[in-house]
Structure 1
C-alpha cells in the first residue's frame, strides 16, 4: 500500500503539469502558427473539411449555413459524406437520435435559422459500401474524429453550429474574411447577466445532473450556481457515476476531442481549467462519499464547485487525504467530521437512482439539466435553462 501511495503521489505531481501544458493556450497558438507556416510554404489554400452525416440533425443544421460561411471567407470547402458513428462512440443510439432532433431544432430556433430535421434512417448509411463513403470514413478516422456535423481546419475540430464561431474568429485573424466587422453566424449566448429581479415564494427547481469526472461539468458549475442565484432558483444536485465507471466505452478519439474542446470553451468564458489530476475511480468515490453530508450541511454546491475546481484546474489529488482536506475546508466544511465519513458507500443507491432518472428523461451524459418539463444536455445549453427561468416570472 505504501508503494501504491507513492506512485499516486508521483502521478499527482507530474501529470497535472503535463496536461496543463497540453491544454494551454500557448501550445494551442504555437500549433496554429506551425500549420500556417507549412500551408504557406506549400502554397496550399485555406481548406476547410466538412464531415457530413446526412442522417444527423447537427450535420443538417450546419449544412444550412455553409453557403453563408463560404460567402464570408476566402476558403475552399471539401465536403465528405460519412457514415453514422459506430456503437463504440454511441452507447445509446436511439436516445441520441431522438435527442439530436430536439436539440438541433432548439439550437436553430435560438440562432433564428429556418430549419426542419429530415428523418433519414441511419441504417441506410451504415450499410453503404460506396468508395466515396468508405474514403470519407477513413479520412475522418485518420484525422482523429468520430462524428458528423464537424469542420476540420489546420489540426482543429469545430463540432456543430455552436463551435463555428471559433473557426470564424481564426479565419478573421488570418485575414481571409471577405467583409469587416461581421458578427459570427451564431455566438452561444451568455447566461445570468441579468436576474429575474424578485424573490420568489415558489422557487423554480433546477435538477443538475453532474459527475466529478466530467470536464464539461467542471467548467459549468460556477455558471449554474450564478444562474440559480440570479433567478432565485433551487439547485438539486443529482450526481451520477462517470460513464467509464458504468462500463460505457470512451474511445481514444472521443477523449482526444473532449479535452481541447473543454479547454477552448474554458478560455472563452474565463473559467480556470487544465491542470488536471484525473479523479476517475477511487477519487470520484471518495468525493461522492462526502457529497450527501455536504448537502445536509447546506454546502452541497460549494463542495461541488471546490472539488471540480481543485481536480480540474489546480491538479489536486482527491485520492490523498491532504487533497480531500483542501477540498473540504475550501468548501467551508469541517475536515475533522469529514474524515470520519470519508470513503463510505452510502451514496451509491442515490447515484444509481439519479442515473436511472436521467436516463428516463432521454439523456445519458452530464452535465444535464431539468427545469419543469424541459431537459437539456451540455454546458453549452445553459441558455435554454435561463430561457425557461425567464418564463417562470
Structure 2
C-alpha cells in the first residue's frame, strides 16, 4: 500500500534509519547514509533511539564487548571505519552525544556528526556538545522504531521491512534496485559477505559449533559450517545448548517474529528450505538433545543436527511425538533402539550446561556461535566468512 501511494504521488522512496550512539553497529551504518541516498534516489530520515530494553538484548555487557570486537572486523571487511582502541563509553558521554545528534534531520549532516562524535565517544575522547536535551528525539525514535517492527538500534526500515545493520543491506539494496526506473548508478553500496569454496588443510584443528534446536539461524548454518569444516579438514565439534527461553532469558514476540522473517530472507538467498515450522521448545528440544548426545557418540551427530533442524523449520515435524522423532533419527541411520536408549539417558543435560558455560566463557551467550582453535569466537550464521578467515590463518601457520 505504501509503495502504491508513493508511486501515485510521485514521491521518492523513503528510508528510515534508527541510530543508537552507544551501538557499535550504528557507527558503521551511519557512514553509509549518503551513499545509499545517492545510489537509489532515496529520502533518508534518521531517528535517534535509546539503548534497547533488557528483554530484547540480554547480557548487555557481553553484547557490548562482542559488538565492539565484531564491529571492528566488520568495518575492515567493508572498508568502513571503527576505532581500533574502542572501549565502552561513559554514560555522561553517551548523553552528550545524543544531544549533538538530536534534531538533525539532514542525512548527510547526521552521518557526518554521528561519525565525528561517535569516533570520539568510542575512543573516550572529549568532543564539543551543546547542552541540548535529547529526550524528545529519543522518545520519537523509540516510537518510530516500534512502529516499524523492530527493537534494536542500527536498523534500516523501508516500506514494511526492517534490515538490521550493515549485514542486511544487500537485501535492502536488491529491493531498492528493483524500484529503479533507470540502470544502476554503480556497484552495490555493501557487498554480501559469505564463505567461499576455498579449500585448505588445518590438520584437524577444532571448529566448535554452538547450536540450539530452537534456533532458525542454527538451521540455516548447520550444513554450511559442516561443509566448511570438510573443505578445510577441520574437526567439527558440536556444542549443543538449551535455547535462551529454556535458560531463563526472555525472547519477546517482536524479536521472534523478526528472526523468523529474517531467516526466511536469508534462507531464500542461500537456496535453503525454511518456513514449515513446528516449534520444538520444551519437550521437543529435550528429546532432540537426548538423541543428539547418542548420535554424536555413534558418529552421526552432524547428520542428526541437520535432520532435526530440517524437520523443525522446513518440514513441520513434531519432535514431541515418538513418530516424529523416530523419523528424524532413522533417516540419519539411527535405529528405534538407539532412540529408546537415548531418551532413557539424562547425561545430555550436564553436557548442555557445560557447553553453555564454555560459550559464556568465550564472551558469547547466543547461537549459532563458532570458534576455530584458540582464536576468538564468532556469533551468527552470517559470520562464516570470518570463520573461513580463521581457518585460513591456521592453515597458513599464522594463528
- TM-score, normalising length: structure 1: 0.86
Q: In the alignment, is residue 183 of structure 1 matched against residue 183 of structure 2?
A: no
Q: 1:51 aligns with which of 18, 37, 42?
A: 18
The answer to whether the 8 Å contact 1:294/1:333 transfers is: yes
Q: 2 CA distance for matches of 1:181 and 1:271?
A: 31
Which residue is equivalent to 2:164? Answer: 159
Which residue is equivalent to 2:117? Answer: none
Q: 2:385 aligns with which of 380, 383, 386?
A: 383
Q: Which moved more, 1:179-188 or 1:320-329?
A: 179-188
- What is the SS of the residue equivalent to 1:292? helix
The answer to whether the 8 Å contact 1:73/1:176 transfers is: no
Q: 2 CA distance for matches of 1:154 and 1:67?
A: 19
Task: Kindly state the Cα deviation for residue 183 of structure 1 after the two structures are TM-superposed.
Answer: 2.8
Task: Kindly state the Cα deviation for residue 119 of structure 1 after the two structures are TM-superposed.
Answer: 5.0
The answer to whether the 8 Å contact 1:54/1:120 transfers is: no
- What is the SS of the residue equivalent to 2:288? helix
Q: 1 CA distance for matches of 2:143 and 2:221?
A: 34
Q: 2 CA distance for matches of 1:102 and 1:152?
A: 25
Q: 1:74 aligns with which of 41, 60, 70?
A: 41
Report the CA distance shift for 1:290/1:221 in structure 2 as closer, same or farther (over 3 A).
same
Report the CA distance shift for 1:256/1:44 in structure 2 as closer, same or farther (over 3 A).
farther
Q: Which moved more, 1:358-367 or 1:342-351?
A: 342-351
Which residue is equivalent to 1:64? Answer: 31
Which residue is equivalent to 1:373? Answer: 375
Task: Kindly state the Cα deviation for residue 186 of structure 1 after the two structures are TM-superposed.
Answer: 2.2
Equivalent residue runs for 1:2-41 within 5 Å: 34-41=1-8
- What is the SS of the residue equivalent to 2:50? coil
- What is the SS of the residue equivalent to 2:299? coil
Task: Kindly state the Cα deviation for residue 341 of structure 1 after the two structures are TM-superposed.
Answer: 2.8
Q: In the alignment, is residue 356 of structure 1 matched against residue 357 of structure 2?
A: yes
The answer to whether the 8 Å contact 1:75/1:176 transfers is: no
Report the CA distance shift for 1:122/1:320 in structure 2 as closer, same or farther (over 3 A).
farther
- What is the SS of the residue equivalent to 2:143? helix
Which residue is equivalent to 2:236? Answer: 235
Report the CA distance shift for 1:281/1:122 in structure 2 as closer, same or farther (over 3 A).
farther
Task: Kindly state the Cα deviation for residue 118 of structure 1 after the two structures are TM-superposed.
Answer: 7.5
The answer to whether the 8 Å contact 2:148/2:161 transfers is: no
The answer to whether the 8 Å contact 2:206/2:236 transfers is: yes
Task: Kindly state the Cα deviation for residue 185 of structure 1 after the two structures are TM-superposed.
Answer: 2.2
Which residue is equivalent to 1:89? Answer: 56
Q: 2 CA distance for matches of 1:67 and 1:176?
A: 20
Task: Kindly state the Cα deviation for residue 334 of structure 1 after the two structures are TM-superposed.
Answer: 1.5
Q: 2 CA distance for matches of 1:374 and 1:360?
A: 11
Task: Kindly state the Cα deviation for residue 364 of structure 1 after the two structures are TM-superposed.
Answer: 0.3
Let me know the Cα RMSD of the aligned residues.
1.9
Which residue is equivalent to 2:115? Answer: none
Q: 2 CA distance for matches of 1:312 and 1:147?
A: 25
Task: Kindly state the Cα deviation for residue 176 of structure 1 after the two structures are TM-superposed.
Answer: 5.8
Which residue is equivalent to 1:342? Answer: 343
- TM-score, normalising length: structure 2: 0.85
Report the CA distance shift for 1:181/1:300 in structure 2 as closer, same or farther (over 3 A).
farther
Q: 1 CA distance for matches of 2:134 and 2:58?
A: 23
Q: Which string of whole-angstrom CA distances, capped at 9 and with x for unpartnered residues, describes residues 204-261 of structure 1?
A: 1111000000000000101011000000000111000000001111112211211100
| Residue correspondences, number | 356
Structure 1 residues without counterparts, runs of 5 or longer: 1-33
Q: Which moved more, 1:133-142 or 1:123-132?
A: 123-132
Higher RCO (C-alpha under 8 Å, 6+ residues apart): 1
Which residue is equivalent to 2:296? Answer: 295
Which residue is equivalent to 1:194? Answer: 198
Q: Which string of whole-angstrom CA distances, capped at 9 and with x for unpartnered residues, describes residues 316-344 of structure 1?
A: 11011111111111111122332233253
The answer to whether the 8 Å contact 1:55/1:120 transfers is: yes
- What is the SS of the residue equivalent to 2:377? strand
Which residue is equivalent to 1:99? Answer: 66
Q: 2 CA distance for matches of 1:277 and 1:294?
A: 22
